[in-house]
Chain A
């Protein structure tokens, strides 16, 4: 047994009295309370954890933190399955069930591993070069099956998530001693301070050590009132210091209730941010450096100290930094045998060679034996022209990589900060502060403890007081050389373990003349995995520098973008799922419609009755029945969502003349007129009816979808251009319900229901508005019609809408009336050829294209968009113009969106169908279409192409029904 649990008292975070059972690929194993999945697997001597993304190479635990590239698992099954969870971050729970990713039939025997044998055939850019002919799409499905990691669940997520907004003066990201010191100082100086840490324990790198100062600082931070959020990982810094962080609230896997609040997304607006995110360890590259049993040196130290787990018995340490020696000493104390430190540098630190530790300076690991677990390695001195097979053989089951340190500069970069290269330690550090953000501690490149504490304290205080932050005393990381791979070897030396990018891939990219590190990244996919290259970015760019004879500072880093670590889609969606996915509006009489058989559908923002089907009746049949009944008797419709505005002011009339095609200033009080609203391009953006309520007072009906748009346009023109006009625009859409009664029997119905005689069609003409009342409830009754029938739009305070529906419905049988929904309304307006803005118009449609050319010429006043209508392009007789279409056979439906063309594609497109339906009145399909030069083509036969079928249609004039327009008058 190689990796194993150490004896007591090793393992500060584990509770040896609380064993926990879990399953790994169906195998029952046991861990301890306080373990992560990674530590528990290592304690059970499980070295092989998963298979790699592209080559299916066996992989094990590589790190002890969120940088983990290899040990990814799918947690749980069914709806709660979470793919690609890092074993090093997954807290062990009783009953936890996990599976390895990207292997079939199993992790030990994986058929996909055959690709690993062909690794040389799968270099960077392989897919782009190879699978182009005849079409990438031919190869994509099988490649997608082979490549990839975990499996996403297919069922809806049973858990829920929330989002919280917060603000503070100083936000500290990171709970290590530097972060704690900065937070304490900021709070002491009076700033509202928050501190976020992704860890479950404060103290950062020292959290698992008995460090009195770290514990003391953690206590002080709480006593000073700092708002501390544990298990809350800041994953992004966005414009103007908005920090997004994800708080884990529930365990992953194990026994859970039916639905839990699983994560909380924090959106924190901070005046100043202090980054205290620490540093990552940089691995060394050598042949087969991805074998299970090769891992980061610091990780092995932490597994021993925090979890009481020895990652192996006999360890070789591959070093390029002074930190290797501290790791060697600590691991030796934990009971591991340190075979040797293989130091790439020509000189080991003074004194280390005298400690009894075997140190081989100026040497590298040249080969690793063992596929599913390390069995030994070969080491050779550099400079002696190492070739495969030469050098000394060392038997070991663990190879630790200590290549130096890489400050976590992610937040600094996201804030727009610059980096500088520190050559002696081969690392990038923040070059001063970023806008709104200052780095402290290891992520600032400050590795000596006392200097870090003093600097962090000074920064916390300075930012709290609005002063400039002191410069970071960068140093203390020790020596590390900016070199990476072992020269002259053919076996893969992995730069990015997660995406299977090797030094050879980077070399290929260099040979193909990729110079920019951003291009290198995309071509090789280095750093594009879920770990975002935490342990690979620096090596990749150092290597790129070596290959192109540039210093790392010249090569530069790729841009660090959020998220810093993977975030679940659930956390980002928060409450915005299912019925809260987006705000939907409810009709005032929603419940009444529901109790009268309405079939609700979503139209724009509104839930509205599409129709009122009888038992067993389809939506289409219901719409036909309802429309026919309105044409011959009467119908009742809820038009409440129609946009409504009241305009008040001395210049209201002038302003409406400017806004609409259609002169509104000449309306008499009580009169109403149709208007088209244009933008400055002359394009139709809305239509509606404007009625005059008083000398300086107008009522404007917009379309339902155009209510917000029209209000915004009015306000923009009033506030930004026509600033001398005195007009107040008040939206009143929700104040007024709209109960619409239409059909030849509409008035008889209203009269029987108690409406005053003054509303009768002979005394109240079409397109007039009258203020009335019914039993004390004020009404604004508009004679208008979108059905082509005698119509009354009865506007009344919305709380009374249900009562009016009920009152009218009581007498519906007397006139043979029905309730009708949107579908029937659309059929009737189509029969009348009435325009539906947004369906029959697009972003290029001008009034002349839909039959309003004469209205424009007749109007004396200027209006918005008018100048655009006189451009040559606006007067082109071949513009798309709205026409009617009927199938020549009188049977075949013409589909909305179908193209009009002389023959099947490829063909020049002459137009398209914009509205379509089966006319209840004519009992045949009818359609509206935008057709090039359409108004001159009446009677012409055209071909309508839809999904491979051509249908012959004839261009006709609209309206299809009641061409003289007599019926609206009753």
Chain B
């Protein structure tokens, strides 16, 4: 079948740029943060699963790990090949599992000094992550994972079926953005 191409055009306003980032997504599920599965993850990725509310990047710079719950870490990566590789390296574990969620999430990359101004207009101050943080919260009335690896850059991970709703809210908000 034809390789799908999907991308929304970027949205821009004074101080913030929003663009969709094509990314493969997988989730790591495990019973405890210390078990055999988590050790296998460290062997496969070269990094620990992040602690509560943490986000980090694997040493190769290609894999982002973000805490989602006490039994879950979300992985974002550039393509399906990496998911396949991780899947095969973690397949034998009985203490946890990897579930490929690619296509299930859309990732928006927000850059600029006014990210917080935008996010607090989508619903909450609890949604603004500091670098190294991943925060699941309610944005635009839907659940969103917001994570930051560096200043002035935030990734929003949104259920694909809700992306049009979130984008419409962002679009309407940015249209009213004026220089502070």
Contact = CB atoms under 8 A, between A and B. Distances in A.
Interface stretch (A210-218, A512-520, A726-734, A889-897): A726-734
B127 to A, nearest CB: 9
B125 A730 contact: no
Nearest to B27: A730
Given A165-B125, A735-B104, A730 B99 contact: yes
A576 B169 CA distance: 9
Interface string A638-659: 0001000010111000000000
Interface string A576-595: 10011011111110000000
Interface string B87-100: 00000001011011
A804 interface: yes
Given A575-B169, A803-B1, A732 B101 contact: yes
A807 interface: yes
Contacts of A737: 103
Interface in A155-178: 160, 162-167
Interface string A272-293: 0000000000000000000000
B102 A774 contact: no
A585 B29 contact: no
Contacts of A800: 1, 4, 103
Contacts of B159: 585, 734
Contact of A650 (B27, B30, B94, B163): B94
Given A799-B4, A800-B4, A162 B103 contact: no
Contacts of A606: 161
Interface in A715-770: 726, 728, 730, 732-737
A261 interface: yes
A172 B103 CA distance: 47
A571 B138 CA distance: 20
B29 A730 contact: yes
Given A167-B125, A648-B97, A735-B102, A583 B4 contact: no
Contacts of A163: 121, 123
Given A734-B105, A803-B4, A162 B176 contact: yes
Nearest to A776: B1
A728 B31 contact: yes
Nearest to A802: B4
A188 B23 CA distance: 47
A774 B176 contact: no
A728 B71 contact: yes
B81 interface: no
Interface in B113-167: 120-121, 123-125, 140-142, 159-165
B141 A777 contact: no
Contacts of B4: 799-800, 802-803
Contacts of A164: 120-121
B121 A734 contact: no
Interface in A170-205: none
A733 B104 CA distance: 7
Contacts of B168: 579-580
Most buried by B among A582, A726, A734, A774: A734
A586 B168 CA distance: 13
A728 B96 contact: yes
Interface string A804-822: 1011000000000000000
A160 B173 CA distance: 10
Contact of B125 (A269, A579, A777): A269
Interface in B14-72: 27, 29-31, 71-72
Contacts of B96: 728
B161 A585 contact: yes
A732 B169 CA distance: 25
Most buried by A among B30, B97, B103: B103
Contacts of A732: 99, 101, 104
16 contacts: A162-B176, A165-B124, A583-B142, A585-B165, A586-B163, A606-B161, A697-B97, A732-B101, A734-B104, A734-B161, A735-B102, A735-B104, A737-B103, A774-B1, A799-B4, A802-B4
Interface of B: 1-2, 4, 6, 27, 29-31, 71-72, 94, 96-97, 99-105, 120-121, 123-125, 140-142, 159-165, 168-169, 172-173, 176
Given A160-B176, A803-B4, 18 more contacts: A162-B121, A164-B121, A165-B124, A167-B125, A575-B172, A582-B141, A585-B162, A585-B165, A586-B161, A586-B163, A586-B164, A586-B165, A728-B97, A734-B105, A734-B161, A735-B99, A737-B103, A798-B103
Interface of A: 160, 162-167, 261, 269, 575-576, 579-580, 582-588, 606, 641, 646, 648-650, 696-697, 726, 728, 730, 732-737, 774-775, 777, 797-800, 802-804, 806-807
